[in-house]
Chain A
Amino acid sequence: MLPKVGFIGLGVMGKPMAMNLIKNGYSLRVYGRRKEAMAPLVEAGAVACGSAEEAARGCDVIFTMVTTTRDVQEVVLGERGVIAGARPGDIVVDMGTISPAATRAIAARLAEAGIEALDAPVSGGGIGAISGTLSIMVGGKPEIFERVNPLFSCMGKNIVHIGPNGAGQVAKACNQMVMLIALQGLAEAFAFARKSGLDSARVYEALSGGAAQSRILEVLGKRMVERNYDPGIEARLHYKDIQIVLDEAHTLGMALPGTALVTQMFNALIGRGGGNQDSSQLVEVIEAMSKNLL
């Protein structure tokens, strides 16, 4: 018999993820802050709830897919939160990208109530969520991971159990570091190419297929060449994610110079109003720094 599922957070990512669970035969209790968000899920057979607590009631596995650390703390531990509706033995799976330290604290708090927790942040964006091909990086007990793995398989393709609670968030942080520092490299390279009088499309072609090849070059590099900044992924999400990495480095007591610099570039991007456009805009921040005064 399939576990009963709660799903909280029905935005760009949460909605298609929840839909994929329904398509695979799971019965869902859902809650989204905006009532309209629940409508398509209800049409597909889900039960709409009035709070996270209500969505959690009677469920075996409860997913959360909300934006910030504070949102997760609110939804899971706050008033009318998941902890109020869940029973000992239930599993709470947070799939957002939040602070590893806060994740461990939330798991500890849930454990006090006999509730299990997994952190399972994802990579692959809205497209990956819709097509069920997300990468999922999981932290928590192995036996709990095993129980939730069949549900993860409805939402993702590359599913890796990284380690204990918090490990999923650390792996996601690593993902963002590699991806966003690569993005910085691309932005500087294309700005450098243009400043040298080159056609950035030719440079893109030259770099593809060589040692500098990466998904980031392929997808975001293309947007830089075309100066097409329709998201993709909204820069404000990367801006949020990369600060999480720095906060963790502060606590750990380690230097991450590249990450720190890229965070400043994202600060500037947000400061000039680019939060809702694609992160490939970073190239314009670099170009602005070295503007030629005619």
Chain B
Amino acid sequence: MSINVGFIGLGIMGKPMALNLIKSGYPLWVYGRRVESMAPLTAAGAHACASPEEAARTADITFIMVSDTQDVEQVILGPKGVLSGAQPGAIVVDMSTISPVATRSLAARLMESGIEMLDAPVSGGETGAVNGALSLMVGGKPEVFIRVKPLFEQMGKKIVHVGANGAGQATKACNQIVASLTIEGVAEAFTFARRNGVDPGRVREALLGGFANSRILEVHGQRMLDHDFRPGFKVRLHQKDLRIVMETAHQMGIALPGSALVAQHLNALIGSGEGELDSSALVQVIERLNEGK
């Protein structure tokens, strides 16, 4: 019995993810806001659709991979949206990075119409998407997760079911909080080292063996030392993800002082036109703060 799959959102991430599903033999009905975005998919055998509703109509599982909370809400609840087309018993899987609060609300709304939902935000960037090597953090019912797992395995390597609806998004947010504060910590440490006349490269070496060790000290730390800010993970996307975290914290009445400060530093990088650089460029904000350039 073959599973019909819908895929909405065919940008930098969505396109290679959808292609991986086609390569694994799933029949795909696709929709992208820009008509040209569907061409590579139809060339690979997908059916082009005129709306999210149409993509969802015959689908057992419909994936969504768009930019922001409002985009997901529009795709699901808007006119000619997924909710209008999907059948009771179908599954909607949102793989965008959006607000956990909005996600829980969308899941409840879909459930009213008998449609299941998973949130499965990813990390690993375009490279991970192309290579089918993304990391997925999934929220939703266990039995629904199990049904979608074989398809997740075509798009990702590390797939973790973290909890109920919204848990995937909350986990992704946690990832951003830890990563952001760690990058900030390394940036501040290196700046402090330099001001003390100490080679930050030696500092990094010393720290790698102990409690301050992290992937970020390793990778982003090296980029800071080399002043090599080729992405990586772009400041622009990092700012967007952290904005979601801060908006959610505001909505829920949660204080996140450290994350709030890092969000401001990312703002500064955007303002100085450095949105396309790697997040390790954060060190420049601390340097500028301390040198007045």
Contacts and interface: CB of A to CB of B under 8 A. Distances in A.
Interface of A: 239, 243, 246, 249-250, 252-257, 260-261, 263-265, 267-272, 285
A272 B252 CA distance: 10
Contact of A250 (B239, B252, B265): B239
Interface residues of B, number: 23
B106 to A, nearest CB: 19
Contacts of B253: 267-272
Q: Interface centre among B246, B250, B265, B269, by most A CB within 10 Å?
A: B250
Interface string B209-249: 00000000000000000000000000000010001001001
A250 B272 CA distance: 12
B260 interface: yes
Interface of A is mostly: helix
Nearest to A272: B253
Q: Interface centre among A253, A254, A263, A285, by most B CB within 10 Å?
A: A253
14 contacts: A246-B246, A250-B267, A253-B271, A255-B264, A255-B267, A256-B267, A261-B260, A267-B253, A267-B255, A267-B256, A268-B255, A270-B253, A271-B255, A272-B253
Nearest to A271: B253
B159 interface: no
A255 B239 CA distance: 12
A247 to B, nearest CB: 8
Contacts of A249: 264, 267
A260 B250 contact: no
B270 interface: yes
Given A260-B260, A263-B250, 7 more contacts: A246-B246, A254-B264, A255-B267, A255-B285, A256-B267, A261-B257, A269-B253
A243 B247 CA distance: 9
Contact of B264 (A260, A270, A272): A260
Contacts of B265: 255
B268 A264 contact: no
B272 to A, nearest CB: 7
